Structure 1
Amino acid sequence: MTKEDALKAYFGYDAFRGGQEQVIDALLAGRDALAIMPTGAGKSICYQIPALLLPGITLVISPLVSLMRDQVTALVQMGIPAAFLNSSLTFKQYLLALDRARAGWYKIIYVAPERLETEGFRSFAEQADISLVAVDEAHCISQWGQDFRPSYLNIPAFVKSLKKRPPVGAFTATATQDVKADIEKLLELDRPLRVATGFDRENLFFAVRQPQNKQESLVDLIRSRPDQCGIVYCATRRTVEETCGLLQEAGISATRYHAGLEPEERQKNQEDFLYDRMQVMVATNAFGMGIDKSNVRYVIHYNMPKDMESYYQEAGRAGRDGLPASCILLYSGQDVRTAQFLIEHSEPREELDARTAEQLRERDFQRLRQMMGYCKTRRCLRQYILRYFGELAPDHCGACWNCLHNFESVDVSREARGIIRCVMETGGHFGVGVITETLCGADTDKVRKFHMDREETYGLLRDHTQAEVRSCIHFLFDESILVLSDGPYPVVGLGERAGEVLREAPDLFMQVEKGERPAFKRRPSVPEELEGAQAELFGRLRALRAQLARRQGVPAYAVFSDKTLRELAVVRPRTMEELKSVGGIGDAKASRYGRAFLAEIAAFEE
């Protein structure tokens, strides 16, 4: 069997996506690989195809139980023998799984990194024919990453302990340059193929809103998306409880997930969401890493995350099927204070010395500043994200809230020079709040305490509101005219262009909101909604899928994704061969479900 045969037979696709084939070829040739691919880009196929073609077992090291369970469920549905070994198994179940692994039952085994150090598993691994080791969520090995897990540091020693070193593939969706270098170094990858397919998810619509009433705004957003699955992320357990209760009182089908719940309730709530028994999951960031639910149509952040890595990873759980999905962040000043508190009161890592711990804390505050910048920018939100991860991006994407917003360009040259002079005059010792109050001529405790009312720039911009001046200051951050220091109490300083603005007095134009926002528009590349007979058939196919999923005891998307059902509703295949030409339908799924769907389509056309 070739890699193309395996792709079609098991996964139902005719061609590889960008980057997949290069990684697969490298691993099949015995070469290490480092793949940086966004959520939904098909990272798992990069190691699942080699696993099918290589002679022995593929070990997939993964951090979360939920990820393993979902992946194994999907693989078994495709006809691929797979299993997981983690703490969710009883000791008897674990021993049985190991015995079956020794007997050659499985091609792919998912294992938690902590399991690598146990005597029973090491004994099995040292004797097993392991052809490939895949490290998922590889950014967890870096202490500079947002999800550092010390257990990942044991992976290189485990690989060395095997009777023959297999190729190692490292996979992650989000990684800055520092984290990429850490992954390669700490995993001891040997001259790896490096593939980065780009971070852009074209089907995702990004928006940041600053509502007067978050609760009302959240309820309105969800009610405007009836019958759609979504995730609402909150910063704390208490907010999860309050928000879930709010949605339930509003008649919305919602459940909750956070680390304070009993394991049995977490598992039940997660399965209720995965199996479409609940429409909305309200959760902390404890939920979601590796959750393979393809039909999440929106992710709403009720609170601002602490960093861009977390935000993009969590937002990326929307639209994994490639269909249009929304990522909306509801921002408020209180979110910043909550994030600062969480950083300041985070538990110190015992394995770190005091100097390194302080460096990491400073890095956390730097990330928070960049996250705040995303919430404040008037520029293209997609461009802001991509530039953060080191990619070039156009100034206008046409598919984010800012690009579709009704803005007008306003000359803020006078205001900019006044702000720069105020920062120079006060010696760069104050934050955005004090600078704003000084320029607006406010009579506040801080202004009086620091004698800001004696400065020449005091009241210079009293014709503006404080909100307008803050917006201008954040615009100057975007333009590298001003900078914001790191740390818990950041101060405003002069950027590399400040002198140029004062000396040459160039015109500076800032995007300012005017009137109401226009209706959302879709990018030309995003499929339109089905209408008429196609929409009716799609509904019938969804109902059939739900019925089959209940019989199989699997989530609906594990039968066919919404994207596959849409294509079925348009193409309306009549034969099994025509059915298998539809994306996402391989031999195993065609054999298991094909006749039922062909019969439903035929009945519809009668």
Structure 2
Amino acid sequence: MLEAALRQYFGYQHFREGQQDVIEAVMRGEDVIAVLPTGTGKSLCYQLPTKLLPHATLIISPLLSLMQDQVDQLKRFGEKRVIALNSFLNRGEKQEVLQKLGQYEYIFTSPEMLQQPHVQQALQHVKLSLIVVDEAHCLSQWGFDFRPDYLQLASVFDSLARPGILALSATATTQVLVDIKQYLQMRSPHECIHSVDRPAIRLMRERFETAEQKLAWAFDYIRQAQGAGIFYTQSRAKCEQYAAVLVEQGVRIAYYHGGMELYDRQLIQQQFLQGQLDWIVATNAFGMGVHKDNIRHIMHETLPQTMANYMQEIGRAGRDGQPAIAVLLYAQGDEERVHYIATEDLPQDAHVDAYDAHRQGDVTQLVTNGWMTETQFRVLHYWMQQFSNIEMKHFIGQLRLQKREQIMAMQKMVDEQSCLRQVILHYFGQTLQTTIEQCCSNCGATYQLPAFEEPVVGLTIDASWQKRLLAIFPQ
């Protein structure tokens, strides 16, 4: 029955690994945790049940761009009863959607939107067959600091005559799975846990003494590479700078980050999907939900903040099953810069004291008057309802330590002399099942992909770039 429905609604002949097991458990009404590798069609695990179950599905999604991508994908399959309830809607549009919410089969929203009383009130009048927490590892990754609304999802679900819950992720450690089960209050969930490994992706690492050397190598790689690629950096300003340099060198590239207007982001994404652009230089705002099967290269300009981020981002390559390359670049001192970025929005002790002093009055003035950022306020506002001043400072200290440990796990990828794939799998509590010929740079993998005429190794800096590099790295 399920395969017939798969062909009828989506035109696929067979399920991919793990999909049928998840869908069968969902159809039985069970709570389900599914960890499936990137590119294996996790979305189908709720898309198909929604066509077969009697009522609507509510999908909690972490990013606006991901919501929009998933809505667009469903519309391409001919689905009309789908809506994204998010900040892209103006007040009038949002009010109209809430009034008609019961007409939709797929309702996408964010943890923050779900906390709004009028949204909860509207959802209480909608019959739900399924609640999905997409990219569920974000609960553990962001819920304890920058997005505490993730930790309040379970109480909202209870107010919605709680149906079965499906938690989906491509990357979850043993501790993350514990967090998901605990904070979503899942009831004896059926677990479908598959390896995070993507054997077709070659894991390459390059070390440099200076940032200038690293960037010169990256630019030459991009200029000579064949096939589509994504170049990840952690700064919006760097995205724009790097794209400008590479455009001058004739590369079909554009930048993408969360500070751009929605229309511009959608335009760039469509140009990349349709092959009008070969490369995107982006922050991690780009990638979730991007359905481009033939990405051949993922390059990281510096260490990602977590191993989960790294696996999510490299997993956008090689979804057609053909060989692809993931290159991790490192220069001395990168780990300290990444740690600063990862922790800069955590409250300081002075912020805790200021919030404590104002908690009997209007605490929002701390943001209005510039004492702290909105993110710092949001963290304090949630946790200081539970913690004392001293407990809060200790908790933030633990968060800082945890973030450093996550970055040190990525640092091990830089220092490791043995198989990089085994290092990654060990981090996720898994083991390498088969020998891979083109595994990683430590195991002798090469940069030459089958479709390439020339390998992109032994690169030299184009002399005409020297002035542009000096502009980015002033002496």
Q: TM-score, normalised by structure 2?
A: 0.79
Equivalent-residue separation in structure 2 for 1:24 and 1:50 (angstroms)? 7
CA positional deviation for 1:253? 1.7
1:234 maps to what in 2?
Answer: 233
* Matched AA of 1:21: Q
1:556 maps to what in 2?
Answer: none
Matches within 5 A, 1:122-271: 122-142=120-140, 149-162=147-160, 164-211=161-208, 213-226=213-226, 228-271=227-270
- Cα displacement string for residues 378-430 of structure 1 (whole angstroms, at most 9, x for unaligned residues): 2122111111111012695322332552xxxxxxxxxxxxxxxxxxxxxxxxx
Greater shift, 43-52 or 80-89, is seen at 80-89
2:52 maps to what in 1?
Answer: 53
- Cα displacement string for residues 544-603 of structure 1 (whole angstroms, at most 9, x for unaligned residues): xxxxxxxxxxxxxxxxxxxxxxxxxxxxxxxxxxxxxxxxxxxxxxxxxxxxxxxxxxxx
How has the CA–CA distance of structure 1 residues 530 and 340 changed in structure 2, closer, same or farther, with 3 Å as cutoff? Answer: closer
2:88 maps to what in 1?
Answer: 88
Partner SS, residue 318 of structure 2: coil
- Cα displacement string for residues 35-78 of structure 1 (whole angstroms, at most 9, x for unaligned residues): 11121122111111111100111111101111111111111111
Equivalent-residue separation in structure 2 for 1:117 and 1:356 (angstroms)? 24
Q: Specify which of 111, 115, 122 is matched with residue 113 of structure 1.
A: 111
How has the CA–CA distance of structure 1 residues 100 and 295 changed in structure 2, closer, same or farther, with 3 Å as cutoff? Answer: farther
Partner SS, residue 210 of structure 1: strand
Higher relative contact order, structure no. (Cα contacts within 8 Å, ≥ 6 residues apart): 2
Contact 1:145–1:179 (CA<8 Å) still a contact in 2? no
Contact 1:31–1:168 (CA<8 Å) still a contact in 2? yes
Partner SS, residue 243 of structure 1: helix
- Does structure 1 residue 388 correspond to structure 2 residue 386? no
How has the CA–CA distance of structure 1 residues 184 and 78 changed in structure 2, closer, same or farther, with 3 Å as cutoff? Answer: same
- Cα displacement string for residues 195-237 of structure 1 (whole angstroms, at most 9, x for unaligned residues): 10111112211101125622332222223333x2211111223
Equivalent-residue separation in structure 1 for 2:261 and 2:145 (angstroms)? 23
* Matched AA of 1:202: P
* Structure 2: runs of 5+ lacking an equivalent: 348-378, 384-391, 454-475
Partner SS, residue 327 of structure 2: strand
Greater shift, 198-207 or 279-288, is seen at 279-288
1:340 maps to what in 2?
Answer: 339
CA positional deviation for 1:156? 1.0
Contact 1:144–1:178 (CA<8 Å) still a contact in 2? no
Equivalent-residue separation in structure 2 for 1:395 and 1:23 (angstroms)? 25
Q: What count of residue pairs does the alignment treat as equivalent? A: 409
* Matched AA of 2:196: F
How has the CA–CA distance of structure 1 residues 263 and 378 changed in structure 2, closer, same or farther, with 3 Å as cutoff? Answer: same
Partner SS, residue 58 of structure 2: strand
CA positional deviation for 1:144? 7.5
Contact 2:143–2:150 (CA<8 Å) still a contact in 1? no
- Cα displacement string for residues 502-537 of structure 1 (whole angstroms, at most 9, x for unaligned residues): xxxxxxxxxxxxxxxx85467xxxxx6599xxxxxx
CA positional deviation for 1:34? 0.7
* Matched AA of 1:374: M
* Structure 1: runs of 5+ lacking an equivalent: 406-517, 523-527, 532-606
2:369 maps to what in 1?
Answer: none
- Does structure 1 residue 400 correspond to structure 2 residue 399? no
- Does structure 1 residue 378 correspond to structure 2 residue 417? yes
* Matched AA of 2:165: V
CA positional deviation for 1:358? 0.8
Partner SS, residue 198 of structure 2: coil
How has the CA–CA distance of structure 1 residues 147 and 296 changed in structure 2, closer, same or farther, with 3 Å as cutoff? Answer: farther
* Matched AA of 1:130: L
Contact 2:413–2:423 (CA<8 Å) still a contact in 1? yes
Partner SS, residue 43 of structure 1: coil
How has the CA–CA distance of structure 1 residues 281 and 7 changed in structure 2, closer, same or farther, with 3 Å as cutoff? Answer: same
2:360 maps to what in 1?
Answer: none
Equivalent-residue separation in structure 2 for 1:87 and 1:261 (angstroms)? 15
* Matched AA of 2:411: M
1:366 maps to what in 2?
Answer: 405
How has the CA–CA distance of structure 1 residues 90 and 344 changed in structure 2, closer, same or farther, with 3 Å as cutoff? Answer: closer
Contact 1:144–1:179 (CA<8 Å) still a contact in 2? no
* Matched AA of 1:196: I
CA positional deviation for 1:167? 0.5
- Does structure 1 residue 74 correspond to structure 2 residue 113? no
* Matched AA of 1:127: H
How has the CA–CA distance of structure 1 residues 67 and 520 changed in structure 2, closer, same or farther, with 3 Å as cutoff? Answer: same
CA positional deviation for 1:114? 1.8
CA positional deviation for 1:95? 3.5
Equivalent-residue separation in structure 2 for 1:356 and 1:519 (angstroms)? 45
Partner SS, residue 172 of structure 2: coil
Q: CA RMSD in A?
A: 2.6
Equivalent-residue separation in structure 1 for 2:253 and 2:168 (angstroms)? 32
Greater shift, 339-348 or 370-379, is seen at 339-348
Equivalent-residue separation in structure 1 for 2:228 and 2:108 (angstroms)? 27
How has the CA–CA distance of structure 1 residues 519 and 20 changed in structure 2, closer, same or farther, with 3 Å as cutoff? Answer: closer
Matches within 5 A, 1:462-501: none
Partner SS, residue 141 of structure 1: helix
